[in-house]
Structure 1
Amino acid sequence: MHYSMNIQKLAAMKNKQVTYQNIGKKGYKETWDYQDELFQAIIQTKMDNRRNETTTPTKNHFLFVEHPHVYTLGKSGDLSNLLLTEKQLTEKNATFYKSNRGGDITYHGPGQIVGYPIIDLDNFFTDIHKYLRFLEEAVILTLADYGLKSERSKGETGVWLDVGTPFARKICALGVRSSRWVTMHGFALNVNVDLGYFDNIIPCGIKGKAVTSMEAELGEKININEVQQTILKHLASLFEWELVSV
């Protein structure tokens, strides 16, 4: 009976609702701080539930943002993959941050869609591998809606075109953090981004691989808002999110 009651309590705690915000153009550090605030609040709820034997549902959030020029290095990344000095960063109107996400170095900037899910995987499934594959799948399905065939590359997180050929190129990077099954950070899809900024790094620490964008592949500027809505549709379907906009 006690076991049955615990199962019922766990089921009652699952919250499939995800609060969605498009926060527009915002600095990396400011957005990171906001993510962390949401992230810590979810963790605190989980800790309080465990301590007090309560069943307060945890919240889930999803943010879309567009960052000014910035290079970020994951916690296990190699600083030598940044090919600019501090002076050169300033000249390019770019900033640099060491992040607590996974992955190596990447670039964020105007014309790029950055998505940050801050969700409690206990509300959905507790499998980080599956979580990453779902993020990739949402991007793959979105690109297919625009006539682009993309796929995964074995051992290389993210979304790629022409995998296994000399023309392999990355169109979306992933880097996440998870603690107590709560996630933060996320993915960056190149839509109308200035690809020249990737020349200043070894993207994701992978030498000899090119980077591309939807604009470069399709030969025209793409409506970012439409791409965001398409990604959101696929994320909601894959994860079974109940989206609520702010």
Structure 2
Amino acid sequence: MVQNRAIIVKHLGLIDYKESLAIQETYYKTMVDQKHGRATVDQFSQSAASGYLLFCEHPPVYTLGRRGSMNHLLVDEATLAIQDITLYHVNRGGDITYHGPGQLVVYPIIDLEKFFTDIHRYLRLLEASVIEMLAHFNIPSTRLPGLTGVWLKANKNSKPFDRKICSIGIRVSRWITMHGLALNVNNELAPFDQIVPCGIPKAVTSMQQELNKFISIMDVSDILAQIFLKKLNCV
């Protein structure tokens, strides 16, 4: 029997983090029901999908993964209240990170059993998709040994530090993925100064900062979706 590998792509726009988490959980439950034969029809495609690829932006928010340390938040919660930045403790991997307008957040909710059952392979696929997308914009990027995410290596001519441009934190349960990646496109970088991003004391950058121009998030979303789905063998 041929597996249905259809992935439904949705653009949620600027959405509160808590609301996006509720949407993820709803789709996750749908995927679980499909695996156990309790649901066979999807309201969008009229057939059981293998997953959903959600693109969005968030109002200013810090999220702390289940193994993260509050010591990596460098300001108190009273300061966050003044700045109108929310703090959420979430059930993904990784430490603390920041989301804000102008940053592209991608949440794949995918049944990996229809593709491959290897979490490390899935993480590398996410990284490789971002690296290929950034190359489309002439931004050379890479992985760093032992660190999850996508990085720009130090350039001795102009950039003295390795810079992180994309954070990744996922949860996989019953081989269904949740959470995902956050790519700095046009967002402000100052809020990262108030945390130790992902628990790693390294610099952070964005596509806008590297190219010195505004980048269309929709263009980035479209290119990244095409690359990710191709690597997942959906197109």
Change (3 A) 1:240 1:103: same
Change (3 A) 1:228 1:46: same
Which has the greater radius of gyration? 1
- CA positional deviation for 1:70: 0.3
After TM superposition, which residue ranges in structure 1, 4 or more long, deviate above 2 angstroms?
56-59, 163-166
> d(CA) in 1 for partners of 2:198 and 2:155?
18
Q: Secondary structure of the residue that 1:175 maps to in structure 2?
A: strand
- CA positional deviation for 1:59: 3.5
Q: Identify unmatched segments of 5+ residues in structure 2.
A: 39-46
> d(CA) in 2 for partners of 1:63 and 1:132?
17
1:216 aligns with 2:209: yes
> d(CA) in 1 for partners of 2:4 and 2:172?
18
Q: What letter is aligned with 1:96?
A: L
1:77 aligns with 2:68: yes
Aligned twin of 1:194: 188
Amino-acid identity (%):
47
The Cα RMSD (Å) is 1.6
Q: Identify unmatched segments of 5+ residues in structure 1.
A: 1-10, 50-55
Query: Could you give the per-residue CA deviations for residues 51-104 of structure 1, whole angstroms, max 9, x where no partner exists?
Result: xxxxx9554111001000000000111111011211111111110000000000
Contact 2:6/2:49 (<8 A) preserved: no
Query: Could you give the per-residue CA deviations for residues 153-181 of structure 1, whole angstroms, max 9, x where no partner exists?
Result: 11110000016985101000000000111
Aligned partner (choices 19, 30, 40) of residue 8 of structure 2: 19
Aligned partner (choices 84, 87, 93) of residue 102 of structure 1: 93
Contact 2:7/2:49 (<8 A) preserved: no
Aligned twin of 2:138: 147
Contact 2:5/2:49 (<8 A) preserved: no
Q: What letter is aligned with 2:117?
A: T
Aligned twin of 1:61: 52
Q: Secondary structure of the residue that 1:176 maps to in structure 2?
A: strand
Change (3 A) 1:118 1:163: farther
Q: What letter is aligned with 1:201?
A: I
Contact 1:151/1:163 (<8 A) preserved: no
- CA positional deviation for 1:194: 0.2
Choose between structure 1 and 2: higher helix proportion. Answer: 1
